[in-house]
Amino acid sequence: MKVTWIVLAFVLFSHLHWTAAAPGAGLHTWDRFSKLPYPGDKAFLYDTFPDKFMWAVGTAAYSVEGAWEKDGKGKSIWDTFTRGGTQVSRGDVGSDSYHNIPGDLRALQQLGVSHYRFSLSWPRIFSNGTKESYNEKGVEYYKSLIQGLKEIKVQPVVTLYHWDLPDSLQTLFGGWSNSVMVELFREYADFCFKTFGSDVKFWITIDNPFVVAWHGYGTGVVAPGIKNDSDLPFRVGHNLLKAHAAAWHLYDDRYCSSQGGRVSMALASHWIRPSRTRQENRKACQCSLDFVLGWFARPLFVDGDYPPYMKRNLTHRLPSFTEAESLYVNGTADFFALSHGPALSFQLINDSLRFGQTEDLGLRMLLYWVGAEYNNPPIFVVESGWFGSGNTKTKDAKHMYYLKSFIMETLKAICFDRVNVIGYTAWSLLDGYEWYREYGIRRGLFFVDFNTPYLKREPKTSATFYSKLIEKNGFPQLPENRPAQGVFPCDFAWGVAANSIQVDAIPTQFADPSVYIWNISGNGELKKVPGVLVPPMHRKHHCADYSSILQQVSDVHRMQVSHFHFSLNWSSITPTGRVSDANETLLKYYHCFVSELQKVNVTPVVTLWYHTGKLSSLPAPMEAGGGWQSKETVQAFADYARLCFQRLGAHVKLWITLNEPNDEDLEFTVGHQLLRAHALAWHVYDTEFRRAQGGKASLVLHMDWVEPAFSFNREDVEPANRVLDFRVSWFAEPIFGSGDYPAVMRTWLQQRSNIDLFNYHLPAFSDEDRLLVKGTYDFFAISHFTTSMVYDGVEDKYTFKDKLQVQLISDVTWIMSPRRNSPVVPWGLRKARKSLEKIFVYHSQNTAYTLDGVNLKGYFAYAFSDQRDPGFGMHGHVQEEVISKSSLAHYKNIIHHNGFPAPGTPQQHCPHAPVHGSRRYVLTKQPVVGFLSLVSSYMLITVCLVIYYAVKRHKIATKKLKKMVPVDSCTFNLFVLLVSLITYKLCF
């Protein structure tokens, strides 16, 4: 009876402790996150963490302690493992934390953490794994560390076992494969709770049991390196769970009431997303998480048994819990200790555990899944972070931005998903021995110089970032990051851009000679009348004859923009490069296009030449003659510009000579000739056409913004300025500035040429060229797409710019563009504009609207249509049907409000631009008359046909039909011809 009451009481306690979640409750996670608004849900969240949120940092004993056989410490399985097989280096010294407690404490103080997670080395306390081998000096080391933490007001989070099993236990019993380990671990835990427990409020029994079981006793990747027994990992996992439960019950029974601590097991997991959207793929993802995380989490948090997916797949290979064992294991966790990062994701999960799905680093989704699957327990993230290469020193940009991303995802899980996250642990405090990766990677917030006698510690940029974040308890919104409100001036130019336009230079209006019947009373279809053709009509072509122009102009007009920017095709207008051989048909087409734009009050902005990178867009003879290296090409461009100004200038008031010529991969000699070509074209317009046409001309420079990867020191800004000099000032300074290349650019290249023997030489401007180029602009136009970050280190050789000696990276919290694989960073454009004003403020000629001191005159969205600019257009094409994307609706709304007016503000009143002529559409008076007359003739013919066939089919009129003269096809064709000729004569 007594036993029965005990079991009943335990069941009731377990039920109160954890209410079991519905089996597979996390399955809806993938559906939920697939339906969240994009990109709004991906936007950066400016907010802070809850009060008393635990900020921690962690280490593992074998990684950092060193002193592997000093002061009575016994060998661990890692000491043995690293001395055999293919291991090259060992953790004998690690970060030498055993001899440098003061250094570790100083690092913790610099970070400002509230908690420090470290592990006890079992063989340092019990040299052979049992209490009879008690090692006093080892115990004193941990007492000193805990006392030091107490003095600096940092709470210890203590792990009893972080993979370094006493080697003697592996040799004598086979390690965790033997159930005798349950009692041995309980004995070890008892000593630790008794010795250190008065100062410890958070205990982790075992770290990452999945890695211990699956890779220690399955794949053999980590110590003890056992493999070739496919069932052994599951027996090991079974013993690990029972050992943990024994330690938890021991603490709960003997120490919890007096010490007031909490105990859990650190469970690590990847995240995984479906390779397809089908429900079967989501179930496969659920299965993958169950095989890694659920293997240990479900017995602890749900029902004391393994996940159904595992039981169905493994059958007899998976050990079974007795009813008593299930009751004993279930509920033995006071919080959910979650590990996440490279020790598991992307490195140790093999294909068999992915179940055909794709791994991902979605910490936010993992947190949500844990909350849903296990009834929203308090979650303490006890390990999280990324890594840098083994050569990384104090500038660890990748580690820092991944850390930022994981913390941001944790914040969103708390604020948006209501997940009960109580703490976050950055991994790790120090560079050290990284298990099977040895010293090939670095995960520390503090750099450890392994080549110095005392293993000097130095904070990395990730440490500075983490300390500032802790200080602010998250990401409080700064004034400059708040959404801007207000409207633009009435004359602000709202435009849309396209690299090119659709050219169909053959007039298509009225080209079809067929005759159609219009089914007025039915479905309204037009049906062709077989064998009936209208004779061709001899008339002049008009702009209204180009259906391609009508369609494009109509689409632009409906966008409600005031400007349309497109590029001419030089190689098509003058195929030989000589203006005497100009394509008159194409010039007439372009003339029609710009004139029809102007008639609907859309200002054309025309580019003479668009740089297309490695694809040549020069006339073939120019390309064969040396391209832009040749002076003949430069002169030919000036002649081509003159031709365009002559033929189109009456309708074009904004000219772009060169669009984005400042390609970073361009040779400096080519860039020099492009500057001369622009200048010659600008002077042609200035001297020959400006007075009569009243337009403006300049060039467009590509200016993606560059942000310092670190902004903690003044020297961090220099690499970003260097990139901007080479990216923008290379062309801007000669035109808008001094008439020469930037001094910094020339000095840098001279130094690089001397040191590295590269042929980096900027051409010299002659006095004549300097006068030719300087001041050849009427406005400053930039194109901007994205922002990148730079620093003067080497992280990834594929994105390292050798010429500039800078590393390009992205902040992983930025929203990525699916088309360009580049981030969307709206504030980058604002900083780019401010930078231009700062550099070239003394050249500004407009004093209209200013934003941040910038004389901003217009904004052009890119791009008009997917047909000419695939993936970027606001008009898309689906099965030959033109569709309007949501971006178009958003842009039209901004144009309609002329910005972002604050709620409740009076509506802005702007005078409307005058309408050209008496109509707002594209046709002039004479073509309108001709068009209407021809339409009338076709309608007359159609009516006649309808009457003819109706009479012919009508049975009641049979007698009347017999009296009529039979109308054969020849007679009818003559009738049609007569009507057409009469109508045409009347109209023309």
pLDDT tens string 597-656: 999 999 999 999 998 866 668 999 999 999 999 999 999 999 999 999 999 999 999 999
- Band (750; pLDDT cuts 50, 70, 90): confident
Q: Is the dihedral of CA 579, 580, 585, 587 positive or negative?
A: positive
**DSSP string across 940-960:** HHHHHHHHHHHHHH-GGGHHH
Single out the residue of 212, 199, 297, 197 nearest to residue 247, CA to CA: 197
pTM for the model: 0.82
Tell me what the pLDDT averaged over the chain comes to.
Answer: 85
| Residue 228 in this model has a pLDDT that exceeds 80 | yes
Q: What is the pLDDT of residue 483?
A: 76
Mean pLDDT value of segment 208-224:
95
Question: Distance between CA 565 and CA 607 in Å, rounded?
Answer: 7
Mean pLDDT value of segment 18-23:
50
Lowest mean pLDDT among 312-326, 458-472, 896-910: 896-910
Contact 138, 125 (CB under 8 A): yes
| Residue 943 in this model has a pLDDT that exceeds 60 | no
Question: Distance between CA 519 and CA 495 in Å, rounded?
Answer: 42
Single out the residue of 736, 645, 635 nearest to residue 685, CA to CA: 645
- Band (904; pLDDT cuts 50, 70, 90): confident
| Residue 9 in this model has a pLDDT that exceeds 50 | no
- Band (536; pLDDT cuts 50, 70, 90): low
C-alpha 955 chain-centroid distance: 72
| 3-class secondary structure, 124 | helix
Only one residue has tokens 């859309």, namely 602
Cβ neighbours for 1, distance < 8 A, ≥ 6 positions apart: none
User: Helices in 255-332 by DSSP H: which ranges?
Assistant: 256-259, 279-289, 295-301, 308-314, 323-329
Lowest mean pLDDT among 116-130, 512-526, 707-721, 797-811: 512-526
| Residue 954 in this model has a pLDDT that exceeds 70 | no
Question: Is 973 or 730 the better-scoring residue by pLDDT?
Answer: 730
Cβ neighbours for 59, distance < 8 A, ≥ 6 positions apart: 95, 97, 117, 118, 119, 428, 429, 430, 432
All structural domains of the chain, each given as residue ranges with its CATH number in brackets, are 32-475 (3.20.20.80), 494-510+537-900 (3.20.20.80)
Question: Is 836 or 170 the better-scoring residue by pLDDT?
Answer: 170
Question: Is 330 or 611 the better-scoring residue by pLDDT?
Answer: 330
Q: What is the pLDDT of residue 509?
A: 52
Mean pLDDT value of segment 964-984:
41
DSSP E strand boundaries for 602-723: 603-610, 654-659, 696-702, 705-708
Q: What is the DSSP letter of 726?
A: I
| Residue 13 in this model has a pLDDT that exceeds 60 | no
| Residue 881 in this model has a pLDDT that exceeds 90 | no
- Band (539; pLDDT cuts 50, 70, 90): low
Contact 399, 370 (CB under 8 A): no
| Residue 945 in this model has a pLDDT that exceeds 70 | no
Q: What is the DSSP letter of 827?
A: H
Q: What is the pLDDT of residue 930?
A: 36
| Residue 285 in this model has a pLDDT that exceeds 60 | yes
Q: What is the pLDDT of residue 638?
A: 97
Q: What is the DSSP letter of 722?
A: H
**DSSP string across 621-646:** HHHHTTGGGSHHHHHHHHHHHHHHHH
- Band (243; pLDDT cuts 50, 70, 90): very high
Give the tens place of pLDDT for each residue, 645-695.
999 999 999 999 999 999 988 899 999 999 999 999 999 999 999 999 999
| Residue 382 in this model has a pLDDT that exceeds 80 | yes
Contact 401, 811 (CB under 8 A): yes
The verdict on whether omega for the bond into residue 914 sits within 30 degrees of 0, i.e. cis, is no
**DSSP string across 225-259:** ---S-TTHHHHHHHHHHHHHHHHHHHHHHHTHHHH
Residue type, 964: M
Cα distances from 98 to residues 71, 121, 139, 425, in angstroms, run: 11, 11, 12, 22
Cβ neighbours for 623, distance < 8 A, ≥ 6 positions apart: 616
| Residue 460 in this model has a pLDDT that exceeds 50 | yes
Mean pLDDT value of segment 781-786:
90
Lowest mean pLDDT among 378-392, 443-457, 477-491, 839-853: 839-853
Q: What is the pLDDT of residue 69?
A: 94
% of the chain surpassing 90 pLDDT: 64
- Band (926; pLDDT cuts 50, 70, 90): very low
| 3-class secondary structure, 897 | helix
Question: Is 822 or 923 the better-scoring residue by pLDDT?
Answer: 822
Lowest mean pLDDT among 301-315, 520-534, 971-985: 971-985
Question: Is 852 or 24 the better-scoring residue by pLDDT?
Answer: 24
Pairing of strands 486-487, 899-900: antiparallel
Contact 445, 428 (CB under 8 A): yes
Question: How many other C-beta atoms can be found within 10 angstroms of the C-beta atom of residue 593?
Answer: 25
Give the tens place of pLDDT for each residue, 645-657.
999 999 999 999 9
